[in-house]
Chains A and B, each alone.
Chain A
Amino acid sequence: MAAGESLSRGVPDAAIFSFEVWRPQALLDPLLDPAMTERVEALPVWPAFSASPQFRQLTDGVRFIEMAIDADWRKATRELTAGGMLFAAAPGERAVLLVATENEERLRKLHEIAGQITRSEARKAGREDPVRAEEIDGLTRWTFNGKEAHTIVDGRLVAASDPATLDAVLRTMKAGEAGTLAASAPYRAACAAVGDEAVAMAYVNLRVLRSAPAVAQALAGSNENPLAALLVAGLATGLKQADWLAVGFYIEGRALVARTVLGPGSGPADGPASVVLPPAGRAGALPNFAVPGQIAALSLFRDLHRFYAAKDELFPARTSGLIFFENMMGIFFTGRDLTDEVLARLGPEIRLVVARQDYPAAAGAPEPELPGFALVLPLKDREFKLILEEAWQKALGLVNFTRGQKAEPGLILDRPQHRGLTMTVARFSTAGLAPEDRGDTRFNFQPTLAMPADFAILSSSESLARKLVDAVQAGPATGLPLGGSHTALQLDGGRLAEVLRANHEPMVRGNMLKEGHTRAEAELAIDTLLALVGQVRQASLTLQGGNGPSEASLRIEFTR
């Protein structure tokens, strides 16, 4: 952290945003590793890219610089950034970049080459020499385009958006600690919050940022959409109340972890967050399911009953839309009160699972092959199961009626058994269909309701519902809540890549229309996307806080 602190000593405390890399080596090691080179070279796009004139130009340029500075680019990158980097921005489109090197001589050489290249490009374009140097207080300052200004001082490159900003930074560096970002209490608190293990930190002064009208407007509007408010509850409250936001970046094995901390000022949640998130002292979201073929899972703690009961106060402008929704629900739930007779009977631990589907071998997979989606809701009383079953069958009836009006095939209701449990499954029939018609998109859907133990599983896919019944009956996954977390998202990169690969053909066709690519170009683009997605083994996002300060943690684990 020492290096980072020393760089932030050069930044005036007017900065509202900063991004600092304290341990560049930790970030560079995996990026500059030969294994990474192999991985990049294995991308489908690599042969075409490496044969392009632009790539040749780039490699020629790198070789020239390597010769000029007498070091290969990997070594030079490590040396030049060894002391850390800091980028900061302040109101009025002012920005500064500080890079601390351990080899000032090489930095000066590189700077000289950059100046030569700039001159040469200007000459080629018929423009006058844009490189200017000026000596002020014994220090040489340069500009390469007449707008930015930079200098090299004490082994650091200091580049600013304009000369006045450079002046301010140099004055701050000379004056010492007072008035610097490093000395400001919020920044220090942010550094302490992200801890010594962080390799980098992003810092935002929320108090100043909120004074910008566009930001204030965006935050004010974040509570207007009930569904959005339900999903991001807590986050918007935190951003509205906290003095600062810090994101610490950590390297843990093959994973990049980002943890967000909101500074003091983030008092108890208000607005939607105050009613849907776990109250203080209450356990949070349940652990996510882990079923075969799972692509993504989301676990939420959202008290829908309290949320809907407070709708008139939370969303006064949406009352008529919500009343319409409530009336519609009244049809399915036979006139029961949505708040007290329906939502009150559901627990707040909601889980969503997305997984690859299994298709009957005889029918094959439809095109496109869509993953199955399932919502798992906890039931507070088992009597509610019959009410839910009735509502589900009414909804299917409505679907069938609507499809029938359009002369489209309807769903056939079935009540199969799975592990002693009766499920309600609706399937499209393949009877009498020609083989080529069995690949229709509708065969991705077999709406299923299963209610094992105290849960209701509403799934778009029969196979996913069966897997979830197995998971619920297996027990442990329904167990201990994730202490204090109200949102937990997990994504399996490998599985996502599998699903995308299964839909390779539709994606290629879509790419041709969206991008104007030829068939070969579209295949290359999609193959590259698949290869990149496949690099992510697991990704997870956890939000904590509820009625207290909010925290978010993102973890991306890469494949070996």
Chain B
Amino acid sequence: MKEIEFMQRDHRTAPRPGAASSRREGAPRVVDVDPEWAWAPFSPGGANRWDAAAAAHLLRRASFGFTATERQRAVAEGPQATVARLLQPVPEAADFDGQFDAWEEHGAGSAAELAAWWLRRMLESPRPLVERMTLFWRECFPARTDRVGEAGLVVRQVQQLRRDALGRFDVLLRNQLHQPAVLLAWGGGQNRRSQPNHQLARALLHGFTVGPGVAGDRDVTETARALTGWFVRRGKLQFVEREQDPAPKCVLEQDGVHNLDDLLTGLAHHEATSRHVARRLWRTFISEVADPSPTLLQALADFLAADRDLAATVGRVLSSNLFHAPESRLARAKSPVELAVGLARGLEGVVPTEPLAGALRELGQDLANPPSLDGWPRGTDWINGATLALRCRLTASLLGANDRYKRRLDPAAVARRHWAVEDGPARRFIAGLLFPDLETAARPEWRDFAGDLRDWAIHLTARPEYQLL
């Protein structure tokens, strides 16, 4: 990890004019720049180049990796047009999602299948940003399949997340609280008037909406009362009127909350909710090693709060000056999913996702069972001596070091498709695809390498900087 930290520092340039940052010993750096500049659309010019590395940064964060063709297209289109295209619905997506929904529901017998189908979608989706955001929301609503008890319900929850991923936050929140999986995962299968469910109420406040440190015990109690009347019976949501507590409740100093709809409307509109979601977006798209200053975060939260439009907010982040600032590059550790799916997408292959789901589970990212209310670990928590070795073994296996993934990723074939036929050009092509952020001179030297292109790719993906996003 020391080496990774070194690489991160190495790639950051000096703070931009007007920027300030402060850092206590051991605390994350705080980015304190002018919010107006930070969230303004990025316009290339001068030192801010829009080149292959910049396009790679955008595609890596906004989807799961990129192919050489996708990067080439992004470079040609420019940053704003690329973001607009990533956000835009595409006609083939409806058929794709319909087909996958049907396959998932037919095979929704187990958590393993749930994860395998989802990974397959990530590999093939015509709207990778939607899949990226589905994973983002899955971290926010991390219903564990083993607590829900029925994988099919979690499949439907994730499908709903996908449909709402770039819609409106208030709609997404409402739909999630009407998912049997979400209620069951937090013990909310029976919200009785005589025994309100505090566990679900706590998750709703601390996890799904306003975030930790905002709501007190009284808010939790009142929220639990507002949830009464909702039951999950035989996998279906039911409202039992006699079990509803009809008295008005007061949640977060807001009176007149009578039922779940009132509660969710209030929470979705609460300013702390916008800040909580904005902070999550920051950690996913901007940086895990630096925190935003309160004003910077508030500016993004205000934008989200304006009409809770997720596509507009995500688009704003992805096309912002701050997103494209050199400090934001390689400022995240790849999660195991990002590591594996990114590699497979980059090498234009579809790998067997059933064994892949198992390998990702070993690495701590079980898509069916997020470990906590915060989803999966983040940042450097993903990587230690043991997991680094396992991650390298996974990328080597994906690249065909053994037959576990049927050698479906073929760097030589990809290089050939992109007219890099001879040994030297092919090695440079693969290095450029895997390490787009390094200047050519800094890329690993290929001339001294003995081995074929597959070995070369394995060698490259074993380097510490490949773990960064």
Q: A: which residues have CB within 8 A of B? A: 367, 406-407, 409, 441, 505-506, 509-510, 512-516, 518
Contact = CB atoms under 8 A, between A and B. Distances in A.
A407 B106 contact: no
A505 B109 CA distance: 15
A516 B352 CA distance: 4
Contact of A514 (B106, B235, B352): B352
A407 B113 CA distance: 22
Contacts of B354: 513-514
Contact of A513 (B113, B189, B349): B113
A516 B234 contact: no
Contact of B350 (A409, A509, A510, A518): A518
Given A406-B149, A505-B106, A512-B103, 15 more contacts: A367-B106, A407-B233, A409-B234, A441-B109, A509-B106, A509-B107, A510-B107, A513-B113, A513-B116, A513-B352, A513-B353, A514-B352, A514-B355, A516-B350, A516-B405
Given A409-B234, A506-B107, A518-B350, A513 B149 contact: no
Contacts of B103: 509, 512
A509 B353 CA distance: 12
B107 A407 contact: no
B120 A513 contact: yes
Nearest to A367: B106
A141 B408 CA distance: 42
Interface of B: 103, 106-107, 109, 113, 116-117, 120, 149, 189, 233-235, 349-355, 405-406, 408
Contacts of B189: 407
A516 B106 contact: no
A514 B149 CA distance: 24
A430 to B, nearest CB: 14
B408 A506 contact: no
A316 to B, nearest CB: 35
Nearest 8 A-B pairs (CB), nearest first?
A516-B352, A513-B354, A513-B116, A516-B351, A516-B408, A514-B354, A516-B350, A515-B352
A555 to B, nearest CB: 33
A268 B234 CA distance: 58
Contacts of B353: 513, 516
14 contacts: A407-B189, A407-B234, A407-B235, A409-B234, A441-B109, A505-B106, A506-B107, A509-B103, A510-B107, A512-B120, A513-B113, A513-B116, A513-B352, A514-B352
B339 to A, nearest CB: 17
B232 to A, nearest CB: 8
Contacts of A441: 109
Contacts of A367: 106
Contacts of A506: 106-107
Contacts of A510: 107
A518 B353 CA distance: 12
A458 B343 CA distance: 51
Contacts of A406: 149
Contacts of A518: 350
Contacts of A513: 113, 116-117, 120, 352-354
A513 B349 CA distance: 13
A23 B405 CA distance: 41
A515 B355 CA distance: 9
Nearest to B116: A513
Nearest to A406: B149
A45 B103 CA distance: 24
Nearest to B124: A518
Nearest to A508: B103
A409 B117 CA distance: 27
Nearest to B105: A436
B156 to A, nearest CB: 14
Report which residue of B107, B120, B235 has the largest number of chain A beta carbons within 10 angstroms of its beta carbon: B107
Contacts of B113: 513
B395 to A, nearest CB: 16
Contacts of A512: 103, 120
A525 B233 CA distance: 41
Contacts of B116: 513
Nearest to B104: A509
A505 B107 CA distance: 10
Report which residue of A367, A407, A505 has the largest number of chain B beta carbons within 10 angstroms of its beta carbon: A407
Nearest to B352: A516
B141 to A, nearest CB: 22
A505 B103 CA distance: 10
Nearest to B149: A406
Contact of B406 (A409, A505, A509, A516): A516
Nearest to B405: A516
A505 B99 CA distance: 13
A518 B350 CA distance: 8
Nearest to A518: B350
Contacts of B109: 441
